[in-house]
Structure 1
Amino acid sequence: MSKERLAGKSAKCTAQKQSMCVKNTAPQNVVVILPDYNDEVSIGSVVLLTRYYADSVIVVDDDSPNRTAEIASKAGAEVIVHEVNKRKGATLKTVFAAIYDLGADIIVTMDSIVTMDSNSHHNPAEIPKLFGPIIIGKADMANGSRYLNGLDKYTLSYCRVGQNILDGVTKLNSGLQITDSQSGFRAFSALTKDIFRFKAQKMSIESEMLTDAGKPGLRIVGVEIGVRYDVDCSTVNPIKHGFGVFL
């Protein structure tokens, strides 16, 4: 790929990866995508934890000014490096375009945001919860949601108000009854990869993907997930972020 270079190879994970609810199904090649920028302190631990639940982990380093790519590679991830910062939409497009070459049956996207104590924004242990409905043939896509059982009391109030608005707009555009439309923790059957446009370059990519998925009538389920609330909101100004997604 132009302006991109391969910085490492993934190592197969030999640990028990399947949850009890899917352990009797046919083996599936699960590939986890971690879009990343400037996380050299913690990306290694996130990759190591994620590899326990996946056959391979791909880190897309979006032109980090440090050793993020090098450390991710040493931790066992396959690393794709953008030579210029392209934002999340382009990051996902890069990997989805290469999925068939990797032999993936299931794709999991997961935020690699980390906290000061090196814990991931999303919990890698919940990866089997997301790909479970796909493996057993009940869904083509799973959307991780914090809000399936009502409002989450730990989310900052202005973040949740904005989330409700964006959920409503996304439902109108996609026709899907979905909660947590801005979730970056999702699983997809590899057969869905050509459905997504990847036009949005910033965080609005999450809503765009749901809109695209709603058009062909894919089977989409919500899966309850947890999250680290000390990194719950984007570092971008929430009003600016919400308005951008709304447009």
Structure 2
Amino acid sequence: MPTIAAMPAYNEARSIQNIIIACKEYVDDVVVIDDGSSDNTAEVAEAAGAYVVKHPQNMGYGAAIKSCFETARNLNARRMVIIDSDGQHDPAEIPKLLKPLEKGIDVVLGSRFIEGNSERIPAYRKIGMKVLDIATNTVGGINVTDSQCGFRAYGKKAIQNIRVDSDSMSAGSEILMEIADNNLQFEEVQVNCSYDVEDSSTQNPVSHGVGVLIAILKDMEFRRPLYYFTLPGAIMGGIGLFMGLKFLQDFYLGESLRFGPTLLMMLLTILGMFMAFTGIILHAMSRMIKMR
């Protein structure tokens, strides 16, 4: 069973050859997922000796990650490292990610923050990363220091059990939730990331971060219904109840009830109670499903 390095690639003909050659020093095979590139990424990768899987069109980062796992299963891989194809990650750090797998760890997560080496990361990126970390940890029930680092290693059990559904950049967070759902053991190791790589990203980091955050919050509806429904419902119901008590006090003192505020109070109370009970029911259902 081989150890493979897999990399999503979209228009990376300029850099991918060097990355493949460097990865080959540490793994048995290199897999490139050509996500509908318009340049000759696939041809360059094949010439460098990589096993290339081609998407007919650009389907997104998540779709490429999904193909990485599917290909690893098809190749009966024992271990898989996923690394960027643009040169942001250093292939020389692959052994660092593979080592914990030998002692029974299922997933090794690269982190840029374990040793506090974040000086080179732009401030706006660090703020966005921290927001996504908090959201991912809250929704996924997992505690990691760098939820958005794509430099990771997976053992056999993780390769077989992790299923990626999202086609977007939120796939990295989805994998962390899959780790928690499948009770996989994970460990973080310090990795470095280069931010001075030319054309290292095809997507604006702000729009990318917002898109990932929206996807995570949508997932909260199913994974954390108490946060998504019950908490805001309880707040709304509490406001409605407070307004109702205030209106009753005013009415007792001789003031007349106004239609608009009274209607708002009723809506807040009813909608809040509905949301709160919906969250409780969904939470109970999710617990029953997990216990099966």
> TM-score scaled to structure 2, two decimals?
0.69
Residue of structure 2 equivalent to 1:71: 44
Aligned 1:221-240 pairs, distance under 5 A: 221-231=187-197, 234-240=201-207
Match of 2:280 in 1: none
The answer to whether structure 1 residue 36 and structure 2 residue 9 are counterparts is: yes
Deviation at 1:218, TM superposition (A): 1.1
The structure 1 segments of at least 4 consecutive aligned residues displaced by more than 3 Å after TM superposition are 231-235
Q: Return 5+ residue gaps in structure 1 as ranges.
A: 1-27, 114-119
**1:174 is the counterpart of 2:140:** yes
Aligned residues: 213
Whichever residue aligns with residue 169 of structure 2, its letter is: M
Query: Greater CA deviation, 148-157 or 53-62?
Result: 148-157
1:99–1:190 CA contact under 8 A, matched in 2: no
Q: 1:217 aligns with which of 163, 166, 183?
A: 183
Greater C-alpha radius of gyration: 2
Q: Deviation of residue 175 (structure 1)?
A: 1.8
Give the distance between the partners of 2:78 and 2:119, measured in 1 at CA.
36
**In structure 1, distance between residues paired with 2:76 and 2:203:** 35
Q: Which runs of 5+ in 2 are unaligned?
A: 215-292
Counterpart amino acid of residue 229 in structure 1: Y
Residue of structure 2 in register with 1:21 after alignment = none
Measured after TM superposition, the shift of residue 236 of structure 1 is: 2.2
Is 1:45 matched up with 2:32?
A: no
1:246 to 187, 191, 213: 213
Distance 2:93 2:20 in 1: 14
**What is the Cα deviation at residue 198 of structure 1?**
1.6
Equivalent in 110, 121, 135 of residue 102 of structure 2: 135
1:89 corresponds in structure 2 to 62
Amino acid at match of 2:142: L
TM-score by length of 1: 0.81
- Rounded to whole Å, the distance in 1 between the matches of 2:164 and 2:73 is 17
The farther-off stretch of 39-48 and 98-107 is 98-107
CA distance, structure 2, for counterparts of residue 142 and residue 44 of structure 1: 25
SS in 1 for 2:147: coil
CA deviation after TM superposition for structure 1 residue 123, in Å: 0.4
Does structure 1 conserve the Cα–Cα contact (< 8 Å) formed by 2:73 and 2:159?
A: no
2:31 counterpart (58, 64, 69) = 58
- Counterpart CA distance in 2 for 1:237 and 1:98 is 29
Matches of 2:36 and 2:202 in 1, distance apart? 18
Greater percentage in helix: 2
Aligned residue for 2:121? 155
Q: How many Å separate the matches in 1 of 2:204 and 2:2?
A: 38
**Kept after mapping to 2: 8 A contact 1:144/1:224:** yes
47 and 79 in structure 1: CA distance in 2 versus 1, 3 angstrom threshold:
same
1:173 to 1:194, Cα distance in 2 relative to 1, 3 A: farther
Question: Partner amino acid for 1:145?
Answer: S
Q: Distance in 1 between matches of 2:44 and 2:170?
A: 28
CA contact (8 A) 2:15 2:85 kept: no
> Which sits farther off after the overlay, 141-150 or 85-94?
85-94
Percent of aligned pairs with the same amino acid: 37
